[in-house]
């Protein structure tokens, strides 16, 4: 095979009738190899295989969405529980002034009794 003739044929400079027998066989083998390579590169999976492969990618995405929704719901519950407390009655049950005056009266009584009166 002459490499110059082979390259000249591939470049379109020579016709097939200008090639010798060895170069013609090499061109046929080259063409056959290109056909096989094209078939391997142009492979299309069947619908069933494509569905099986896509299911592997879709399932993790669905799990991530479910996890994200769960985290968002938990965050919302924590926000509501800790930031929106119910209104409490802040008024004391007994008036402070009344309790203080009763305490001082009691302490005065204790002091008076402690003096021996």
Per-residue pLDDT averaged across 98-117, rounded?
75
Query: Which carries the bigger pLDDT value, residue 102 or residue 4?
Result: 102
> What confidence tens digit (pLDDT) does each residue in 31-64 have?
888 888 888 887 777 889 888 888 887 777 778 8
3-state secondary structure of 85: coil
Please give the distance of CA 33 from its chain centroid, rounded to a whole number.
43
Burial of 9 (0-12, 13-18, 19+ CB in 10 A): buried
Two tokens at 54?
A: 């896509």
Q: What is the pTM of this model?
A: 0.34
Query: Which carries the bigger pLDDT value, residue 17 or residue 33?
Result: 33
Two tokens at 23?
A: 């170069």
pLDDT on residue 72: 96
């Amino acid at each position: 095979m002459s490499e110059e003739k082979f390259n000249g044929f591939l470049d379109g400079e020579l016709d097939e009738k200008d090639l010798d027998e060895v170069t013609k066989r090499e061109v046929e083998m080259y063409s056959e190899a290109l056909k096989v390579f094209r078939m391997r590169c142009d492979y299309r999976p069947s619908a069933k295989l494509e569905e099986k492969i896509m299911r592997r990618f879709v399932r993790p995405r669905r799990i991530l969405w479910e996890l994200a929704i769960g985290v968002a719901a938990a965050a919302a519950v924590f926000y509501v529980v800790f930031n929106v407390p119910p209104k409490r009655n802040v008024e004391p049950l007994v008036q402070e002034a009344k309790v203080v005056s009763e305490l001082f009266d009691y302490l005065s009584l204790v002091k008076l009794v402690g003096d021996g009166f």
